[in-house]
Amino acid sequence: MKENILITGAAGFIGFSLCKFLLTKDFNVIGFDNFNSYYDPSLKQARINELLKISNKNGQNFKIIKGDLKNSSQVNDIFKKFKPSKVVNLAAQAGVRYSLENPQAYVDSNLIGFCNLLESCRQNSVKNFIYASSSSVYGGNEIMPFSEDQSVDHPISLYAATKRSNELIAHTYSHLFNLPSIGLRFFTVYGPWGRPDMALFLFTKSILEKKPIKIFNNGNMKRDFTYIDDIVESIYRLLFKPATCDLSFSKKNPSTSTSWAPHRIFNIGNSMPTPLMEYINAIEDHLGIKAIKEYFPMQPGDVAETSSNNKALEEWIDFRPNTSISWGISEFISWYRSFYKI
């Protein structure tokens, strides 16, 4: 029998991309999303329409369920009906800056919803639980590149605090109920079908419309931009390699990314931090248009630089993200022009 895989946040950028990839494989995919209005719901619906089109064409089994993880009875019903053997939680209230405006959304989705999902995984003996954490958990750390064994006890945004909480709660479930779980610290994911609130989408839209782009910290930023296909390939490989107990774990000198319980934490980044102005120059080059630039100070909750050490991930799944910035931006702009008919 084909395995049932539950993907929460299926209408989101990473969730959609993972579902699309899995539909080329021999899986039944159950998508779950609340289609909230944090950004344009019509883009989310367009992603789902694309998945349904692929599913119908290939004769694959894809179902999309509209709901909210904070509704525990609805989550339980999904597990009873579909009995997923593996779960990938990509549902979360995203965005660092938005957490200053609407903190309750982060509590509802990233904490209450996350716990409801874990509880259903426990009750239904899920074999592999993978969930999205974030590079934001590194907060104000300044030692680069970020390693999973660095301290992450000083978050500087509510978003980051909820993601670190996810890691701690998941570890507890791994310990108490032997639930294999893997937390993934994503580093600035970009690519076709991306999120409209993120830099590449915002910059491309504004440059094409001849509107100014906002550049924070006066442009003195670096990001470990990671292409979506590299993220999807990593998750796909992790589906077949669930977390295991670290037999060399020492409680006298504890690792922060492994455990005596079946729980692991991995960075997923490109390991090539790119200056923001260099990123903008690449967008301008591919569009053939110069941006109108407006400079602003650092925003609350932001960090000046991110950089990922991927050694642990590479050793675990024999893969490391390697897509060049130039190629990734080119793919996004091609999609953007096609999708918006420009």
3-state DSSP assignment of residue 171: helix
Distance CA 14, CA 229 (A): 9
The string over 202-222, giving b where at least 16 C-beta atoms fall within 10 Å of a residue's C-beta and e elsewhere, is ebbebbeeeeebebbbeeebb
* φ/ψ (deg, to 5) at 79: -65, -40
Distance CA 195, CA 231 (A): 15
Torsion of CA 277, 278, 284, 285, to 10 degrees: 160
**38 belongs to the catalytic site:** no
* φ/ψ (deg, to 5) at 124: -115, 15
Return the structure tokens found at 206.
């504004």
Closest CA to 78 of 24, 171, 5, 130: 5
Catalytic: which of 38, 39, 98, 159?
A: 159
Helix H or strand E segment including 286: helix 276-287
Distance CA 28, CA 38 (A): 28
Distance CA 120, CA 237 (A): 23
Q: Which residue has the tokens 């060049």?
A: 324
Indicate which residues carry an active-site annotation: 159
